[in-house]
Amino acid sequence: MSRYWSQVVRGLTPYVPGEQPKLANLVKLNTNENPYPPSPRVLAALQGELGADGARLRLYPDPNADLLKAAVAREFGVAPGEVFVGNGSDEVLAHAFLALLKHAAPILFPDITYSFYPVYCGLYGIAYRTVPLTADFAIDPADYAGPNGGIIFPNPNAPTGRLLPLEAIERILAANPESVVVVDEAYVDFGGDTAIPLVARFPNLLVVHTLSKSRSLAGLRVGYAVGQAPLIEALERVKNSFNSYPLDRLAIVGAVAALEDKAHFDACRRAVMATRERLVADLAGQGFEVVPSAANFVFARHPGRDAAAIAQALRQRSIIVRHFKLPRIDQHLRISIGTDGECAALVEALKEILG
């Protein structure tokens, strides 16, 4: 039926999400999901919104999600008018590409980064240029000082997990006053400092967050962005030309509850960070080279074994990790941080595989 496709569709190379296998007794360490459940307050909020008979579901949600914008604003000390919300950070990023990054000059992002970025460029007809990471997979701010139509990068980067300090982000912002700089902070809560405090000083900064990772809400699909009001207005114009109701009633109240339960959030992220450090030590003990990570995953290679073969051997033992068949990183594995028990199972399996 491809004869009915538009020319745009014919030229697309879609993003391929991480595998979601339907296998029993699976140790799933491939999609960076939080191993711990969300705050109990989230469940209570969802039930409260449903009520006894679910009658509220017949009504549209608030198209502006004002409750959620207010909660984000309180969390970071910004104005509600400096907050944009969407159906997961992927939708927020998609709107940012169209609203803020589609210009005559090509945009810049790292050569090893979130693979949705070139997909959005293809979808919206945005020219781009990839900037090579350094030999140790770091972002060099000096590489982003030339002419461009915008800049985007994750911090920590994905799939490497490396963190760029705020001082370096400031240098990129200062060197590009005429370009929007989008900092995608999907994993920042696992070891970094958010760039949101820089928004007050830099009108060209947009910071994007998700509740999928550190708040354990991948199943609700909630993301948001913080930036000065003119950037947020651009996002709202695109959103209201595409889908006036991107967040449903349950997502709004669940996200607010997750943001307000700071104790649960902090306990979960600290547990993930502690497990990550133990896993790094265990992997190093087996000869792996591990990139320093500030995320809820690690990026590792074994100098004596093929990464694809290791991934396949793990799969045969019902343990799934992510392998990218891409230049520079085809010998690396990205391993999500699971529970202590899941990571221990991984380590034992690797001992068996490596002999």
* Mean pLDDT in residue range 43-53: 96
pLDDT bin (cut points 50, 70, 90) of residue 1 is low
pLDDT tens digits, residue range 157-197? Answer: 999 999 999 999 999 999 999 999 999 999 999 999 999 99
Burial of 327 (C-beta count, 10 Å sphere; 0-12/13-18/19+):
exposed
Domain annotation covers residue 144? yes
* Mean pLDDT in residue range 312-339: 96
pLDDT bin (cut points 50, 70, 90) of residue 21 is confident
* CATH code (residue 86): 3.40.640.10
DSSP state, residue 94: H
| pLDDT score for 71 | 98
3-state secondary structure at position 56: helix
Domain region containing 152: 40-260
Domain boundary among 227, 260, 293: 260
| pLDDT score for 36 | 98
* CATH code (residue 282): 3.90.1150.10
Give the list of residues 6+ apart from residue 219 with CB closer than 8 angstroms, or none: none
pTM of the entire predicted model: 0.96
Do 29 and 91 share a domain, yes or no?
no
- The percent of residues in the chain predicted with pLDDT above 70, rounded, is 100
pLDDT of residue 25 exceeding 90, the answer is no
pLDDT of residue 23 exceeding 90, the answer is no
* Mean pLDDT in residue range 96-125: 97
Instruction: List the Cα angle 248/249/255 in 5-degree steps.
Output: 90
Write the single-letter amino acid at 114: Y
Q: How many domains does the chain have?
A: 2
Distance of CA 202 to the CA centre of its chain: 22
Distance of CA 227 to the CA centre of its chain: 18
pLDDT of residue 296 exceeding 80, the answer is yes
| pLDDT score for 90 | 97
Domain annotation covers residue 5? no
* Mean pLDDT in residue range 301-327: 96
pLDDT of residue 22 exceeding 90, the answer is no
Do 161 and 191 share a domain, yes or no?
yes
DSSP state, residue 355: -
Domain annotation covers residue 10? no
Domain annotation covers residue 284? yes
Do 235 and 273 share a domain, yes or no?
no
Do 171 and 47 share a domain, yes or no?
yes
* Mean pLDDT in residue range 319-336: 96
Do 30 and 77 share a domain, yes or no?
no
| pLDDT score for 17 | 85
pLDDT bin (cut points 50, 70, 90) of residue 79 is very high
Do 327 and 274 share a domain, yes or no?
yes
Domain annotation covers residue 13? no
pLDDT bin (cut points 50, 70, 90) of residue 33 is very high
* Mean pLDDT in residue range 254-264: 98
